[in-house]
Amino acid sequence: MIIDFHAHVLSPQIKQDRNRCAKNDPAFAQIYGDKKIKIATAEDLIQNMDKDGVDISVIVNYGWSTHELCVETNDYILESVTRYPKRLIGFGAVADYNSERSLSEIERCARGGIRGIGELRPDAQSPGFAQKKTLEPFVALLRKHKLILMTHSSEPVGHIYAGKGIATPGLLYGFITCFPDLTVVFAHWGGGLPFYALMPEVQKTLTNVYFDTATSPFLYRPEIYHQVSQLVGSEKILFGSDFPVMAPSRILKEIDAAGLAEEEKNNILSGNARRLLGL
């Protein structure tokens, strides 16, 4: 089995008229303002999953700037999961971490079957991502509904790309030290956070933290699979593509060629995801 833990879909309406969202939502404009950036519907994703041999995809949302776009895209994710219940698992999104309407939206999405919240933007959304008091109501809801939190992650060095942001390891580490019991997935290898696991206090804090491989070929050399497996264990790594930014097949080829032990490879491709999602 292969589970892609990081894919994106948007509705046909948004795909056909992205300008509407770009005008009203700065986060959308930053990511999708350029018409060269691909937008995929649920049907596009299912077709690509069949082509690349992916059994299940986790369709994650974005940390949009506006509550209205979060609701619209959450609705589409819930609808898509209903249409493809054996192929898709949904994550919802909120525009901030502490407003009443965002907390109510988490409740609504949880009732609809959402399994997580994310991919949020901890650097761009409500300030105070690493402040425990500010985030306690938000985290309490995640605990109540047993929801996984996924955030975008950024490398503090290296090339700049659209939407990179500054969700760097220091910011992410501050959050998990406040809420060490929460199950968290840091996308894009956590912006390099696994490399700090050589520090004993960091290693201890990563107990409930996982890292996905989304767009890995854009960010790191293929040796990263072996290196991170050594640093934090293969049981912390989730195969994720970031489709449609990158086809799953490209990352699957890297994993196949990484020289991992069979158990490590199975952990990354589906074992860890199955445990997290209770499949």
Among the listed ranges 5-9, 49-53, 218-222, which one has the minimum average pLDDT value?
Answer: 218-222
CA angle 23, 155, 157 (to 5 degrees): 110
Q: Tell me how far apart the alpha carbons of residues 22 and 161 are, in angstroms, rounded to a whole number.
A: 18
Domain range for residue 250? 3-277
Distance CA 120, CA 16 (A): 24
Distance CA 96, CA 46 (A): 30
Mean pLDDT of 108-126: 92
What is the pLDDT at residue 254? 97
* Residue 101: pLDDT over 90: yes
CA of 27: how far to CAs of 20, 33, 124, 204, 252, in Å?
13, 9, 9, 34, 29
The pLDDT score that the predictor gives to residue 160 is 85
Higher-pLDDT residue of 34 and 80 is 80
User: Residue 87 has what pLDDT?
Assistant: 98
Task: Tell which residue, 132, 231, 143, has the closest CA to residue 177.
Answer: 132
Residues 134-143, mean pLDDT to the nearest whole number? 95
Q: Given pLDDT bands bounded at 50, 70 and 90, which one contains residue 230?
A: very high
DSSP secondary structure code for residue 214 in this structure: T
Count of CA atoms in the C-beta half-sphere (13 A) of 232: 30
Query: Residue 258 carries which side chain, given as an amino acid letter?
Result: A
Residue 164 predicted with pLDDT over 90:
no
The DSSP output letter for 91 is: E
Confidence of residue 127 (pLDDT cuts 50, 70, 90): low
The pLDDT of residue 65 is: 94
Question: Is the pLDDT reported for residue 242 higher than 70?
Answer: yes
Q: Is the pLDDT of residue 163 over 80?
A: no
Indicate whether 151 pLDDT > 70.
Answer: yes
Tell me if 178 sits within 8 A of 130, measured CB to CB.
yes
Share of the chain above pLDDT 90, in %: 89
Question: Which tokens in the block code for residue 162?
Answer: 């659209």
Residue 96 is part of a domain; what is its CATH number? 3.20.20.140
Its sign, for the CA torsion 119, 131, 27, 12, is positive
Quick: pLDDT tens for 168-211: 999 999 999 999 999 999 999 999 999 999 999 999 999 999 99
User: Stretch 8-32: mean pLDDT, rounded?
Assistant: 95
Q: How many CB atoms lie within 10 A of CB 260?
A: 19
Q: What is the pLDDT of residues 78-97, one digit of tens each?
A: 999 999 999 999 999 999 99
Q: Give yes or no for a contact between 140 and 106, defined as CB atoms under 8 angstroms apart.
A: no
pLDDT > 80? residue 162: no
**Comparing 129 with 249, which gets the higher pLDDT?**
249
Residues in the chain: 279
Number of structural domains (the chain) is 1
